[in-house]
Structure 1
Amino acid sequence: MKKKMMSQPKKTGKRRKQIARKGLHTDMDKDDSEDSDEASKKDDSTSGTKIPINPVPVAMKSPSIANYKIIKQGRKGVYQIVRENGTDTVYISFGAMLTDISRDDLTELYRIVMRKHGMDKPEDELEKVLWEYLKNMFEEPLSTDSIWSLPGLQRIIYWRYYKACRVHCLNLESVDIYMLIERKYPLSAEVYKAMLNKKHQGGKPDEDCYKLLKMMEKQAGIRK
């Protein structure tokens, strides 16, 4: 009997937290809140300061990207992202970078690259690859651009969605095509069907990814 009475308050407290999260109120909560208010008044009278219950920590935003470098390693290279506070992170590939940075970071990187090169294609091969990735994503896509008419565009190795920056990638035998999830690109219905038939990689799809899938279905003529 004692055991039952001792465990009851724990269940009540758990139930009260669940109800509070849903925004509901019961008579039991009302009584408890009145007791809590009285206790708070007592605390105020003694200390003069009201201490919040379960304070929520403030999320700290990562410092913005200040610059980037491509460190060459033979014919390949790694990406070094330098932030405003002086810290830097090295990524072995552009895809690896996208798993970590936010959309704001990606947008800032695009601005930095465009300030450096403008619309003139860089001569350095590694700089050119980064420039093309970002240009294809952010610039208004034209059906006449060569990347959208590549032969074998339907021969997809994999399709991947990067949740951190809300980008999806079409991986082909010869090139990767990175796209913003909210933007429509001049891909044919056959390419979208091929993408839908490929198993998604990159973790469990979230709400944004499902919206993208619906858009792809519509563009493939599967959904009206």
Structure 2
Amino acid sequence: MKRKAQVQFEAQHYTSEDWDLIRAKLEANAELSKNILGSEIQGEDFAKKMVDLVNQRKKFFAEERAKAKRNKPMTQSQLKTYMMNYLKNQGTWKLVQLRKLSFEEVKEEFDKLVKQIESFVPMSFEEVKEEFDKLVKQIESFVPISFEATKANLKRFGEELQTKTLKRLKEEKDDEAKDVKPTKMDDLTELYRIVMKRYGMDGPEDKLEKEFWKCLRTMFEEPLSTDPIWSEIGQKRIISWRYYDTCRAHCLNLESMDVYMLSDRKYPLSAEMCQTMLKMKLLDGRMNEDCYRLLKMMEKQAGIKK
């Protein structure tokens, strides 16, 4: 068999004359013919065995050429096409975007993706189930809050915050409790930060939650006179005007809506609206320095000169 393989390997450069010579040698040398063509060859089978040998030679070299072609390194263009298709099939890029990149840029993105895949550590079944159960539990425990409940909670929040702050100050300094004025708004500011972090600038999709989101934005963001809320306020009747000195905020209770504002910030209220507010009693307002400054600011905005 070793001799046969050697003959096949050497035969790739043989011409017709060379094959005639091989044929002659095989016919003249019985031992060589036995090793290459088989031990039981008969005279009438000699031509058929020679044809089989030639066919084996052709098949052998065809396989060698195919193997060499497969092992041939890809050109830069072929390699870029391969990497582009891989990135596209992984869903990280669109083909139209990849075509605009150079070979080096495509290779960089390809190497990043391969590195991510190689560093990926699959989660066990128990870990996946644990995360899934947590998510299901969060969804099942979620209870949407109505707009009316949100308004009531905000009002209660202001009252509780004021009570807790005064109680804390009283415990710290009993002898100065009457003179101490609460000025911190940490809880209210934190509430605004949490809501904005959760919903961003676009706001929630739920109608009632969006009203609460708008309420906090009106309080804390820079007021714009072009905001439709201020023209809408001017068309509604004021029911009450309430001040929360602990939160340093005041609230306009209007027909079908409430507007909460910070006491140290000027809002684009019309002069007529400010005059109407000043004619009403400021409910729950303690005449401290913050409340006094609010009233002075409203008088100035209403155009009242003293």
Same fold (TM over 0.5): yes
What is the count of residue pairs matched by the alignment? 144
For the residue of structure 2 that corresponds to 1:159, the secondary structure is strand
Aligned to 1:129: 211
Q: Which has the higher contact order (CA 8 A, sep 6+)?
A: 1
> Residue 110 in 1 paired to residue 170 in 2?
no
For the residue of structure 2 that corresponds to 1:195, the secondary structure is helix
> Residue 93 in 1 paired to residue 175 in 2?
no
In structure 2, C-alpha distance between the alignment counterparts of 1:167 and 1:159, rounded to whole Å:
11
Could you tell me the TM-score, scaled by structure 2's length?
Answer: 0.43
Superposition deviation, residue 130 in structure 1? 1.6
Higher strand share: 1
For the residue of structure 2 that corresponds to 1:122, the secondary structure is coil
Q: Is the 8 A contact 1:148 1:186 kept in 2?
A: yes
In structure 2, C-alpha distance between the alignment counterparts of 1:189 and 1:132, rounded to whole Å:
24
Could you tell me the TM-score, scaled by structure 1's length?
Answer: 0.58
Matched ranges for 1:50-199 at <5 A: 71-72=143-144, 75-76=146-147, 78=149, 92-101=152-161, 103-150=185-232, 152-153=234-235, 155-199=237-281
Unaligned stretches of 5+ in structure 2? 1-140, 162-183
In structure 1, C-alpha distance between the alignment counterparts of 2:254 and 2:299, rounded to whole Å:
20
Identical-residue share of aligned pairs (%): 58
1:97 partner amino acid:
F
Structure 1 residues 159 and 119: alpha-carbon distance in aligned structure 2, compared to 1, 3 A threshold? same
Higher helix share: 2
In structure 2, C-alpha distance between the alignment counterparts of 1:156 and 1:103, rounded to whole Å:
26
Superposition deviation, residue 122 in structure 1? 1.3
Unaligned stretches of 5+ in structure 1? 1-68, 80-90
Q: Is the 8 A contact 1:99 1:165 kept in 2?
A: no
2:304 partner amino acid:
I
RMSD (CA atoms): 2.4
1:167 partner amino acid:
A
In structure 1, C-alpha distance between the alignment counterparts of 2:218 and 2:143, rounded to whole Å:
23
Higher Rg of the two aligned structures: 2
Structure 1 residues 133 and 76: alpha-carbon distance in aligned structure 2, compared to 1, 3 A threshold? closer
